[in-house]
Amino acid sequence: MPELPEVETVRRGLQPVMEGAVVARAEQRRADLRFPFPKDFAGQLEGRKIVALDRRAKYLLADLDNGMVLISHLGMSGSFRIEPDGDAPLSPGVFHHERSKDDKHDHVVFHMDGPAGRARVVYNDPRRFGYMDLMARAELADHPWFRSLGVEPTGNSLQADELARRLAGKAAPLKAALLDQRIIAGLGNIYVCEALWRARLSPRKPAGRLVTRAGQPRKALERLTGDIREVISEAIAAGGSSLRDHIQTDGTMGYFQHGFSVYDREGKACPRPGCGDTVRRIVQSGRSTFMCARCQRD
């Protein structure tokens, strides 16, 4: 499943051909993905200019010139690829996201015409857990998909004071609290495991223990906040370089398997110098947590 850094990488890859470009034609090849497409989906897009390509959590948001927003979620297996149209030159940021090349899973094609030339932006999704919708920008904040989303884990939007407010009094394990989209939006399993390892915090520790009685962040929470921002920004930076160099690691773009310290490394040595313990996998709420029991104590 694509995590936030991958979605951000996709956004940056699509930006040069979508932002400032007109949807000359849209092809919708089936009635639904995970959810039905909105009425007259293609008709509502055709002739509209995309004024900005944004992201909120794992949603891609293409703002149209009429105040509507094209919302797109990749689900489990969704991917976009860009095919230059005709003789148009490859523009910077063009990439091929080779998760599935089988064109029977190409469900939506946007024919873009813009400053970078003409290109087809193709949405492919074998399992069809992804979805697209159109809604007014003004209604976005109140929509069920968005209204309860927590803070972004990127850059300065994530602050220890704000996290303290959200974690105060919570008995839930840290792992579960950090995966809760109402607390932090778009932080998935991989990066929660990585950030907890970096911050030397046990995933089983009750989340509220990182907050003082007065509601202030403890030192550990300040450290964790920095580590979350760091793992996310490093992953986005690695995604950016994979875009520039057209590197494809095992078919997925924006995933940086070699960079993980604990995720999916069960039985391997903990990479912290001098630790000497091995990474273990535990199961919390039905999901795997990878951790080092020596570095990450309760």
280 near Zn ion, rule: CB under 5 A? no
- Could you say which of 82, 270, 289, 291 contacts Zn ion (CB under 5 A)? 270
SS3 293: coil
Please confirm, yes or no, whether 3 is among the known catalytic residues: yes
Rounded to whole angstroms, what are the CA distances from 200 to 204, 220, 224, 225, 262? 12, 9, 9, 12, 12
Smallest gap from Cβ 290 to Zn ion, in A, equals 11
Please confirm, yes or no, whether 2 is among the known catalytic residues: yes
* Stretch of residues binding Zn ion (CB under 5 A), selected from 4-12, 16-24, 214-222, 266-274: 266-274
- Token readout for 146 is 């968005």
* Stretch of residues binding Zn ion (CB under 5 A), selected from 69-77, 170-178, 201-209, 263-271: 263-271
275 near Zn ion, rule: CB under 5 A? yes
- Token readout for 124 is 């492919």
Hunting for tokens 């840290």 — which residue is that? 174
Buried/exposed code over 31-57 (b: 16+ C-beta within 10 A; e: otherwise): eebeeebeeebeebbeebebeebebbb
- By CB under 5 A, what part of segment 102-121 binds Zn ion? none
- Farthest-apart Cα atoms in the chain, separation: 65
- By CB under 5 A, what part of segment 209-248 binds Zn ion? none
To 10 degrees, the CA torsion angle through 47, 52, 54, 60? 10
Residue 131 parent element (H or E): strand 131-136
Give the x/- contact pattern for Zn ion in 3-22, rule: CB under 5 A.
Answer: --------------------
| Nearer to Zn ion among residue 34 and residue 294 (C-beta) | 294
Which among 3, 6, 19, 194 is annotated as catalytic?
3
292 near Zn ion, rule: CB under 5 A? yes
Please confirm, yes or no, whether 49 is among the known catalytic residues: no
Mind giving me the DSSP string for 233-270? HHHHHHHHHHHHHT--BTTBSS--GGG-SSTT-TTSBP
- Could you say which of 128, 200, 272, 287 contacts Zn ion (CB under 5 A)? 272
- Token readout for 184 is 């932090």
Please confirm, yes or no, whether 19 is among the known catalytic residues: no
Give the x/- contact pattern for Zn ion in 159-178, rule: CB under 5 A.
Answer: --------------------
| Nearer to Zn ion among residue 53 and residue 295 (C-beta) | 295
Cα separation, 61 vs 51, in Å, equals: 11
Nearest to 235 by CA among 264, 174, 194, 292: 194
* Stretch of residues binding Zn ion (CB under 5 A), selected from 32-40, 90-98, 243-251, 277-285: 277-285
Smallest gap from Cβ 232 to Zn ion, in A, equals 22
* Stretch of residues binding Zn ion (CB under 5 A), selected from 27-35, 112-120, 209-217, 286-294: 286-294
Count of residues near Zn ion by CB under 5 A: 7
Structural contact between residues 73 and 2, judged by C-beta atoms closer than 8 angstroms: no
295 near Zn ion, rule: CB under 5 A? yes
294 near Zn ion, rule: CB under 5 A? yes
Smallest gap from Cβ 59 to Zn ion, in A, equals 35
Question: What residues make contact with Zn ion under the rule CB under 5 A?
Answer: 270, 272, 275, 277, 292, 294-295
Active site residues: 2-3, 58, 287
